[in-house]
Structure 1
Amino acid sequence: MQKSSVQEPLLVTGPKKGDENAAAAEVKRLVWLAGPLVASGIFQCALQLVSVMFVGHLGELPLAGASLASSLANVTGFSFLVGMSSALDTLCGQAFGARQYHLLGVYKQRAMLVLALACVPIVVVWANTTRILLLLGQDRSIAAEAGAYAWLLVPSLVPYVPLVCHIRFLQTQSIVVPVMASSAATALSHVLVCWALVHKAGMGSKGAALSNTVSCCTNLALLSLYTRLSGACKRTWTGFSMEAFKELRQFAGLAFPSAMMVW
């Protein structure tokens, strides 16, 4: 008698328990990294928002000028510098993965040099904010108010350049909680700084603009102290190096396309 050629159906099994545990562990790790990153971004964006809110209590004209100047500064300056600093994600990530830890510090210094050079045209734009807005048909009084506010944002570029480079330097090492804590402390203190300069010192919208410089300096000081004293960056930060002055054009070639994507 011939045997039947019909085979028994194969049992379809679900994912193994080990795979589920690995996936859950990876999700937790991603949330642990992404959560502080999102919170840090919110706290950093809160600085400009809080400053404009304080100006809003001074009247419609100061509010209109500060809002317009903040928007212009974000588009032509701050976001552009953040985009340029994102080149560190690629370079520092590669160096960290290849265990060439000292290169992270070199790349950070190189980024600060290139971003500092990029600030020259940014300052030119901010210094001519009033003229630019008038050419675009903006009301003369609002353009003048925005121009004055934008000009007082120029000093904030001094701490902002090393600040965004420090943030990228730490994030590529998965050091995200200290960045979040520093940004949160800065955002909270920024409220007091704005109140002190705008109302207590009687500087009005000028105080609100200058408060951004004070808060950027605070955030930079906190992250710098962490980098040097915590020991977490012992291998990646070995001090200033003349090697940072090399290959500036190559770094700029990577930084500017990154900036354009953000811009």
Structure 2
Amino acid sequence: MQNPSVDEQPLLVERDENVAASEAKRLLRLAGPLVASGLLQCALQLVSVMFVGHLGELHLAGASLATSLANVTGFSLLAGMASALDTLCGQAFGARQYHLLGVYKQRAMLVLALACVPIALVWTNTTRILLFLGQDRAIAAEAGAYARWLIPSLVPYVPLTCHIRFLPVMASSAVTSLSHVLVCWALVHKAGMGSKGAALARAISYCTNLSILSMYTRLSGACKRTWKGFSMEAFKELRQFAELAFPSAMMVCLEWWSFELLALLSGLLPNPKLETSVLSICFNTGALMFMVPSGLCTAISTRVSNELGAGRPQAAKLATRLVVCLALLEGSVISVTMILLRRFWGYVYSNEEEVVAYIARMIPVLAMSFFMNGIHTSLAGVLTGCGEQKIGARVNLVAFYLAGIPLAVLLAFALHFNGMARTSSVPKFKSF
């Protein structure tokens, strides 16, 4: 987070160009490491899916459905609740109340830990849930086994998702991502655990990342002002934190859930193994590309909350205008790049020619989502910095559930576009 200077000059008309350039550099300095660390963290899920994908179509379909259910009922909820820290800590930092950052982090970990109890119960019953939703029996059984082996990952994920809101995680994420490849290989192939080993590998890698960040917090002088050790103050005002965490979670989850719901619906299409596998690969690709606008989202959230906390709303407005321009640029670059790579991208996940060809047809449509997602995510970061997550939740509810998903169902089941419907419908509405 930026440390606002006490004697910072007001924004003057004659200095607009210099101020804009300075703000753009500040945003890029914040977003750059966040994008890199986000890509590295996302690699954990992608590497696990890649290892499973080369075991066969059934394993890939099962792991894909389990990952979708785990994201819907667990990871998205926890990450969304933790995003309340962006508002609280950003404004506390802007107001120079540095000690509150450590207190807020502990408070968040307590609330998130409580939420893990029902999450673990849901994951334990994944097979029953998927069968109730009409999924193929073989795929549901494979997904249930994968989800049960994901439960240990909740233990390190709760403190980790709170730590990454504050700390420079690029180096730790790089170490974790590299080691994750070795852990996956050892568990999936060497230990003969198959897809279950890929699920367990995520827990081990989360522990590795958390251990590195915990050592950094304890040994680095950079955290002395913000981390004063464990405090009983963290047990106070839990309700107030939960009241902000809930709309924060809804703002994140309503978007995330819509894509995972589409993955579940793909299991109801003809040839569910193919449809589920391909759609999962597309969404995993989307998750990887999402890390770029996600970095901009966190950067603008930090800048807006810092400036509002310091009483400088005009500086926050300037940062907002600049981040939209940056979002348009990155969206264009990512979309064009993926279209150029569309014929080769499928081989990263599967050796099946049918899967690779299907992915090549899907990516141009998916590119629309990459472009629009940059604008949507950046503006969501502005709302988070302002503490207006309720507005974002309402917008996502309308865009995804009253427009995008009904259109996807119509295109897929009534007009027989199949998986193409799912990547073409939601992007049309998400930037509204």
Does 1:227 find its partner at 2:224? no
Q: Does the CA-based 8 Å contact 1:114-1:252 persist in structure 2?
A: yes
User: Take 1:239 and 1:146, find their aligned partners in 2: how far apart are those partners?
Assistant: 40
Q: Does the CA-based 8 Å contact 1:52-1:67 persist in structure 2?
A: yes
- The alignment's TM-score, normalised by the length of structure 2, stands at 0.54
- Name which of 102, 105, 109 aligns with 2:102: 105
Q: Does the CA-based 8 Å contact 1:108-1:169 persist in structure 2?
A: no
Partner SS for 2:158: helix
User: What's the counterpart of residue 177 of structure 2?
Assistant: 187
User: What's the counterpart of residue 217 of structure 1?
Assistant: 207
| Greater length-normalized contact order (CA 8 Å, ≥ 6 residues apart) | 1
Partner SS for 2:208: helix
Q: By how many angstroms is 1:187 displaced?
A: 1.4
Q: Which moved more, 1:180-189 or 1:153-162?
A: 180-189
- Name which of 82, 85, 88 aligns with 2:82: 85
- Name which of 51, 69, 83 aligns with 1:72: 69
Q: Does the CA-based 8 Å contact 1:88-1:169 persist in structure 2?
A: no
User: Take 1:138 and 1:117, find their aligned partners in 2: how far apart are those partners?
Assistant: 30
Q: How does 1:73-222 map to 2 (within 5 A)?
A: 73-170=70-167, 178-222=168-212
One-letter amino acid of the counterpart of residue 130, structure 1: T
The C-alpha deviation readout for 1:62-107, integer Å capped at 9, x for no partner, is 1111111111111221111110001111111122122221111111
One-letter amino acid of the counterpart of residue 220, structure 2: S
User: Take 2:102 and 2:224, find their aligned partners in 1: how far apart are those partners?
Assistant: 10
User: Take 1:248 and 1:258, find their aligned partners in 2: how far apart are those partners?
Assistant: 15
Partner SS for 1:238: coil
Aligned residues: 242
Q: By how many angstroms is 1:61 displaced?
A: 1.7
User: Take 2:95 and 2:17, find their aligned partners in 1: how far apart are those partners?
Assistant: 29
- Unmatched runs of 5 consecutive residues or more in structure 2: 1-11, 254-432
- RMSD, matched Cα: 1.5
Which portions of structure 1, spanning 4 or more consecutive aligned residues, are displaced by more than 6 angstroms? none
Partner SS for 2:135: coil
Does 1:23 find its partner at 2:13? no
The C-alpha deviation readout for 1:111-142, integer Å capped at 9, x for no partner, is 00000011112112111110110011111111
User: What's the counterpart of residue 251 of structure 2?
Assistant: 261
Identical positions, percent: 84
User: Take 1:104 and 1:224, find their aligned partners in 2: how far apart are those partners?
Assistant: 15
Q: Which moved more, 1:154-163 or 1:123-132?
A: 123-132
Q: By how many angstroms is 1:39 displaced?
A: 2.1
- The structure having more radius of gyration, on CA atoms, is 1
User: Take 1:107 and 1:19, find their aligned partners in 2: how far apart are those partners?
Assistant: 36
Q: By how many angstroms is 1:184 displaced?
A: 2.1
Q: By how many angstroms is 1:248 displaced?
A: 0.8
